[in-house]
């Protein structure tokens, strides 16, 4: 659980974020285990279409950069909403019933009943995200 990253990205007053900014981290072990689902980074990052399991639609991007030591290429390390990164943070907090700006904890995810988000590509540049319990 990130203290000032992930869903709590916006809680770091010393960086460039807004209060509810959030991202979904993508760990390198996930990238390695699901190759070629996650492709090496391109610039600029394309805008993608995300549909959540409850029918909510939002635009987003695979962002950030992490070097995979196995092939030396750079891969995205997070999923963010677009054009504003707080869209994702507000959406996830709403889904979990957290209506304040306090930091989200692992206990909040446990109370919600899920701490991961499943992503499936359903078309070119289109993804289904599942956060249902």
pLDDT tens-digit profile of 20-41? 999 999 988 888 888 778 888 8
83: Cα separation from own chain's centroid: 14
Where along the chain do its domains lie? 6-130
Say how far apart CA 133 and CA 102 lie, in whole Å.
23
State pTM to two decimals: 0.89
CATH of domain 6-130: 2.40.330
Would you tell me how many other CB atoms lie within 10 Å of the CB of residue 35?
Answer: 14
The percent of the chain in helix, strand and coil, each rounded to the nearest 5, is 25, 25, 50
pLDDT (mean) for 48-70:
93
* Tokens found for residue 117: 């988000």
């Amino acid at each position: 659980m990130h203290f000032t990253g992930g869903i709590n990205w916006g809680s770091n007053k010393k960086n460039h974020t807004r209060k509810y900014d959030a991202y979904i981290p993508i760990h390198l072990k996930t990238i390695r285990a699901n190759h070629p689902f996650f492709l090496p980074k391109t610039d600029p990052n394309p805008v993608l279409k995300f549909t959540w399991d409850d029918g909510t639609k939002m635009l987003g991007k695979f962002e950030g950069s992490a070097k995979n030591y196995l092939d030396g290429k750079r891969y995205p390390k997070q999923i963010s909403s677009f054009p504003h990164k707080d869209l994702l943070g507000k959406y996830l907090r709403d889904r979990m019933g957290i209506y304040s700006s306090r930091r989200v904890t692992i206990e909040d995810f446990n109370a919600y009943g899920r701490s991961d988000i499943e992503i499936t590509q359903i078309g070119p540049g289109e993804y289904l995200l599942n956060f249902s319990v």
